[in-house]
Amino acid sequence: MVKKKYFSFADAKKFLNKKGLELYKKSNQPKRDNSFKNLSYTLYFSFFLIIMFSASPIIIDFKKNYFVKSIEVKNNSKIELEKTLIGKNNEEQTDELDNVQIFQDIFEYEEISTTSVRLNASTIKQLFKDTNYNLKDVRKNKLVKPVNLELLPNEMKMIESTKEKKNLFIQIILPLILEENNQIKLDRKKLFAILNRNNNSESEKKWLNMKFKQYGIKNKDLLSLKIRMDEIPVSLAIAQAAKETGWGTSRFALEGNALFGQWTFSDDGIKPLGQDSNSNHKVMKFNILQASVRAYFRNLNTHRSYREFRKFRAAARDNDEKLNSLFLADFLDKYAATGDEYTKVIKIIIQQNSLKDFDDSKLLPSSKLIKKLI
């Protein structure tokens, strides 16, 4: 680094001497008054020039730092995107949830008059056979047929073979879980595209505001949205559905399409049999199975009880790691009253039924947008 030079009076004297000039001290000789005055002017002017030249680098730096930068047009969107993607501490903002807004798109399922026909188990099995949809191929090829059933068959309880019952249950809910994850993938892709643009359209801003509401983010914090708007490992979702419904045989699943045993304190729900008199909760019911799956995703992605789950999921994302259901299950101890015992059961279900085989599975496209995700 070149050091800046600052001139002293002695330096100025040497400089002027080199130029054939002399510095004079004030004299009592009258005849030298005019020459001394002229020389003084010359000295002052020369000294001024020296100071200006020596100070010019400082002036240039000052101008660059405080004037030039002020008129630069900077693209802050990429900086914001980088901050959002990195998320130093993976800490989402905590907001009081507005369940009406969070579940608005799920409530819309309930407003649609359903004409769903409940197929019996044998018809469903034949449908899967006709479409070449079986779990053995899925485990091998990782491709799932987009067969979207809206209701479970009533015969789930009557299937004697445990293996057959489990396979049928997985075949029914696997496309529903993948469908929800696909929608989240599309939403995340759109979110990052919006952040990476200099200007966003009104429709994009409207979409962003809608997502803030759906994920319960009142302060419109982008890092929180990035953390909350994310997938659930397929094996984890299957295991929890299996645990909550007894592999699709529970009254809540068959009467209310409730795959994940979510509670509600409203009048619209299914009251558990033999419920304690001090408890007034009910189990949420839905018109179709897909609504139950979406409510489960939204629950894990917004409720404060699963903040640690989301934190470690985000950390895995930042490290380009696959989402590990066996690891993430440990942070769902608040999902049931049994706490840690619940998470142990979930992990046993995942391992005993080799559910991690489905984590990399892809839903065969039913649209061009979904096709791009495969």
Residue with tokens 């008054």: 33
What is the Cα–Cα distance from 285 to 291, expressed in whole angstroms?
A: 9
For the question of whether the overall pTM of this predicted structure is more than 0.75, the answer is no
pLDDT-derived band at 45, boundaries 50, 70, 90 = low
pLDDT at position 276, please?
65
pLDDT at residue 29 is higher than 90 = no
Asked which of 75-79, 106-110, 190-194, 267-271 is least confident by mean pLDDT, the reply is: 75-79
pLDDT at position 49, please?
54
pLDDT at position 245, please?
97
pLDDT at residue 13 is higher than 70 = no
Percent of the chain with pLDDT over 90: 55
Of 52-66, 139-153, 257-271, the range with the highest mean pLDDT is 139-153
154 vs 34, more confident: 154
Q: Residue 208 is encoded by which pair of tokens?
A: 């962003």
Domain ranges of the chain: 9-71, 76-371
Closest CA to 224 of 101, 330, 83: 83
pLDDT-derived band at 42, boundaries 50, 70, 90 = low
pLDDT at position 111, please?
61
pLDDT at residue 138 is higher than 60 = yes
pLDDT at residue 374 is higher than 80 = no
pLDDT at residue 63 is higher than 50 = no
Q: Rounded mean pLDDT of 241-255?
A: 96
pLDDT at position 272, please?
78
pLDDT-derived band at 290, boundaries 50, 70, 90 = very high
Q: Rounded mean pLDDT of 241-247?
A: 97
Asked which of 64-78, 163-177, 265-279, 359-373 is least confident by mean pLDDT, the reply is: 64-78
Q: Rounded mean pLDDT of 68-76?
A: 32
Percent of the chain with pLDDT over 70: 66
Q: Rounded mean pLDDT of 334-359?
A: 97
Average pLDDT value for the chain: 79
pLDDT at position 154, please?
95
pLDDT-derived band at 106, boundaries 50, 70, 90 = confident
Q: Kindly report, residue by residue over 81-100, the tens digit of the pLDDT.
A: 444 444 445 566 666 666 67
Asked which of 77-91, 244-258, 277-291 is least confident by mean pLDDT, the reply is: 77-91
What is the Cα–Cα distance from 373 to 186, expressed in whole angstroms?
A: 8
